[in-house]
Amino acid sequence: MTVVGARPQFVKIAPLSRALRRHVREILVHTGQHYDRDMSDAFFAELRIPRPDIHLGVGSGSHGRMTALILERLEAAMLARKPDVVIVIGDTNSTLAAALSAAKLQIPVAHVEAGLRSFDMRMPEEINRRIADHVSALLLCPTTDAVRNLRAEGITKGVHLVGDVMMDAVLQNLARVRRLRSPTAHAPKSYYLATIHRQENVDDEGRLRAILGVLQGASRPVLLPMHPRTRERLRRLRITLGGAIEILPPQPYLGMLRLLGDARGLLTDSGGLQKEAFIVGTPCLTMRDATEWVETLRGGANRLVGADAAKIARGLGAIEKLPRHRPASSLYGGGRASGRIARLVSRFARGR
């Protein structure tokens, strides 16, 4: 049983589900954490993800409520369907709830993206990924740093370095992205791409205003696909955006990769986009105080600038001078992570 619920998990389940179905029978569960068409269904259609076998329909809510609803509904689904292994991905509330549900029922958990750490416990994602790792039987790590992080926490059994499923997704879709008409009329390299949605930025008015202030004053257009959480927050705070910022609706996967590949630089607080920028060779400023994708920082392709207006402005200056680094197709397992995971999971299930 694989469990997904939020946008980044839809991207990752696309290659994973395809690989899994060559080896095992997959029961795909959608928790309903993300439900807007452009946050959910659009990804299933574009990435040809199989229709979920079970939809829990939990919707939005506080962390406690969302986690509790998933726990309750997923427990019932697991008791009814009796999966041999439950596969969880990443670090969202859906990840945490699914890992807990399975562990409590003594069903082995396989965690995809195990071992990542930002060492910042103010981030809900850090709590989710730590707990998921500590109840997992199979820890499927994207990087050697992740393996090392687990070892430092005493976790060595069931740990496998498999590479990153998001790399698989990028490689499997590059040709389609190249054929796509760009979602913007701006010429390649003439604009920045930006996203802001993390709780620590969006829910903190000071940080949010500092970030938006710099983006509005940028020397090039800043294309900002708007996450629903951010849109809601701006409405509440009565903030209207202007200056260099151009608001776009949430973008589908291929369109976003196209915008990213053509951008002069990326400014983001997303985990996945930092890595995608690194993969396609676009310089990135990460508007967070810590990142779990530390390998992107080495060599300066990605810089941590927090929500500090001066650091962000300096970072933009640096991007203008930075030569584009070459995209590396051998990174993160070179596109073979999903196949490795599928084989490990199937071998594990047969061995029980």
- What residues line the site for ligand UD1 (CB under 6 A)? 6-8, 33-36, 39, 60, 91-93, 124-125, 197, 228-229, 232
Strands 245-248 and 86-89: unpaired
Rounded least distance, CB 135 to ligand UD1, Å: 17
Residue 6 or 316 having the CB closest to ligand UD1: 6
197 catalytic residue (yes or no) = yes
> In the complex with ligand UD1, which residue's Cβ is closer, 32 or 315?
32
Nearer of residues 99 and 344 to ligand UD1, judged by Cβ? 99
Helix/strand/coil (H/E/C) assignment for every residue in the chain: CEEECCHHHHHHHHHHHHHHCCCCCCCEEECCCCCCHHHCHHHHHHCCCCCCCEECCCCCCCHHHHHHHHHHHHHHHHHHHCCCCEEEECCCHHHHHHHHHHHHCCCCEEEECCCCCCCCCCCHHHHHHHHHHHCCCEEEECCHHHHHHHHHCCCCCCEEECCCHHHHHHHHHHHHHHHCCCCCCCCCCCCEEEECCCHHHHCCHHHHHHHHHHHHCCCCCEEEECCHHHHHHHHHHCCCCCCCEEEECCCCHHHHHHHHHHCCEEEECCHHHHHHHHHHCCCEEECCCCCCCHHHCCCCCEEECCCCHHHHHHHHHHHHHCCCCCCCCCHHHHHCHHHHHHHHHHHHHHCC
Comparison of 225 and 339: residue with beta carbon closer to ligand UD1: 225
- What minimum distance in Å lies between the beta carbon of 125 and ligand UD1? 5
Smallest gap from residue 132 Cβ to ligand UD1 (A): 12
Residue 250 or 283: the one with the smaller Cβ distance to ligand UD1 is 250
Quote the least distance from Cβ 221 to ligand UD1, whole Å.
Answer: 23
From the list 34, 197, 227, 325, the catalytic residue is 197
Supply the residues annotated as catalytic: 197
